[in-house]
Structure 1
Amino acid sequence: MSNRAQIVVLAKRPRPGRVKTRLTPPYTPSEAAELAAGALADTLAAVRAAPAAARVLAFDDDADVPGFDLVRQRGAGLDERLAWAFHDAYALRPLPVVLVGMDTPQLTPALLARAAETLDGHDAVFGPATDGGFWLLGLRRPDPARLVGVPMSRPDTGRAQLGRLRGLSVAFLPCLTDVDDAASARLVAGLAPGTRFAATLAGLGAGAAG
């Protein structure tokens, strides 16, 4: 397994009304924040278990997370936050960067290792999401111009992002489902029943069955 890449997690502090707002209804803002916290915990656990040269949390708040360096998010839209997370991690260590969010708690250390290994022989690695976006992006040499201006949270986001990678050798990972709404939350929990996310969802009652 390659450990020459660093893994970055782009995440928000799970605050009610600020995260997973598409889960409400059927869940309350506090319940949606609990689910987000579970997803983030699962993501961090997967990253800790994956081989990596370094692990970085690109966060929207101050935090002290064992095993992770912290960089503060900057930029206006998600495209800019992604671009600067790549840039700032690379500024810390000029090593390939694999970046994930906190929306795929079914993520495994094996998938992360595969992404890192892929950057040994490719310029980029791309993990498409079923909603048309992407759950992972890896770049051997990050460049903000590859991300800034890409329209986010749309059915064509993945296609637009791939357009920005034109001229690079790009490898692909399996398509995963992001947790966006109640239906996708139930689907992901079913795919990864041993996760904290799945346990949190199971404990929330009506929304989990509705």
Structure 2
Amino acid sequence: MRPDLTLVVIAKEPVPGHVKTRLTPPCSPDEAAEIAEAALADTLQVVASTPAHQRVLALAGRPGAWLPDCFDVAPQVSGTLDVRIAGVLAEVAGPMVLVGMDTPQLTSELLLSCDFSTRPAWLGLAEDGGFWALGLARPDPELVRGVPMSVPHTGAAQLERLEQAGLEVGLLPTLRDVDTWPDALAVAAAAPKTRLARAVSALTAAAAR
């Protein structure tokens, strides 16, 4: 166990019409929610199996059967994504790694590669220009608040903010978010043992019938 490490997943409850809306079309809102739930469940399973002092789900919505018992659930504050992430950082005292629900190909090895003995900050960039992981030895809401989110340069802006604060940043491997159907197909192919891959396979088979 990492005696002082907190792992945080920031996520939305997978409610049809409110998650993964860029999957529709070709998916229906219900199918998009199935993909979202699968991706979230995969992410939570990996975090649950990773040694840590504490595991937190910062959730917009209500927990469901997909939530492992080892998580503390904290409601997200209201506001834009940067404000919501900042709200999480304000509540974590020690070293933490925060991830979203969009990269079910996540592994424990990736999480534990955030070595705070070598660098005080770690960032995992996403192929779409965002970021999928943020690791901080000393969480500080001001390191995120005001960073433009959900734009093609979000990852670059977050990296610049960390560097402007004088932090040496380690870069994690770049991963692909599951936002669109081509994303879902690509991530399912790259991580065929995931619940996401099974959900994509089932939807593909149903569409072919």
Could you say whether these structures have the same fold, taking a TM-score greater than 0.5 normalized by the shorter chain as the test? yes
Q: 1:77 aligns with which of 61, 73, 80?
A: 80
Aligned residues of 1:202 and 1:208 also touching (Cα < 8 A):
no
Partner of 1:47, secondary structure, is: helix
Mapped partners of 1:123, 1:150: distance in 2: 19
Q: Which amino acid aligns with 1:108?
A: T
- Quote how far apart the aligned CAs of 1:2 are: 4.1
Aligned residue for 1:57, secondary structure, equals: strand
The Cα offsets for residues 20-42 of structure 1, whole Å up to 9 and x where unpaired, read as 00000000000000000000000
CA distance in 2, matches of 1:155, 1:11: 20
Equivalents in 1 of 2:58, 2:90: separation in Å?
A: 11
Structure-2 change in CA distance of 1:207 and 1:23 (3 Å): farther
Q: In 2, are the aligned partners of 1:182 and 1:208 still within 8 Å (CA)?
A: no
Matched to 2:71, the amino acid is F
* Partner residue in 2 for 1:132: 129
Aligned pairs for 1:28-107 (under 5 A) are 28-63=28-63, 65=67, 66-88=69-91, 90=92, 94-107=93-106
Match status 1:120 vs 2:123: no
1:148 aligns with 2:151: no
Distance 2:98 2:206 in 1: 30
State the match for 1:196 in structure 2.
195
* Cα distance in 1 for residues equivalent to 2:206 and 2:188: 13
Cα RMSD, aligned residues only: 1.6
Relative to the length of structure 1, the TM-score reads 0.92
Moved over 2 A (4+): 1-4, 61-65, 205-209
Change over 3 Å in CA distance of 1:33–1:182 after alignment to 2: same
Q: 58-67 or 75-84, which moves further after superposition?
A: 58-67
- Aligned partners of 1:27 and 1:207 also within 8 Å: no
Aligned partner letter, 2:86: A
Do the aligned partners of 1:8 and 1:58 also contact (CA within 8 Å) in 2? yes
Aligned residues: 203
Which residue number corresponds to residue 172 of structure 1?
171
Query: Mind listing any 5+ residue stretches in structure 1 that lack a counterpart?
Result: none
Quick one: which amino acid aligns to residue 74 of structure 1?
A: V
Give the whole-Å Cα distance in 1 for the aligned partners of 2:63 and 2:35. 19
- Rounded Cα–Cα distance in structure 1 between residues aligned with 2:206 and 2:12: 23
- CA offset at residue 3 of structure 1? 4.5
> Against the structure 1 CA distance between its residues 28 and 62, is the aligned structure 2 distance closer, same or farther, given a 3 Å change threshold?
closer
User: What is the match of residue 26 of structure 2?
Assistant: 26
Identity of aligned residues (%): 52
User: Structure 1 residues 62, 33: CA separation in 2 closer, same or farther (over 3 Å shift)?
Assistant: closer
Equivalent position amino acid for 1:182 in 2 = W
* Conservation of the 8 A alpha-carbon contact between 2:13 and 2:62: no
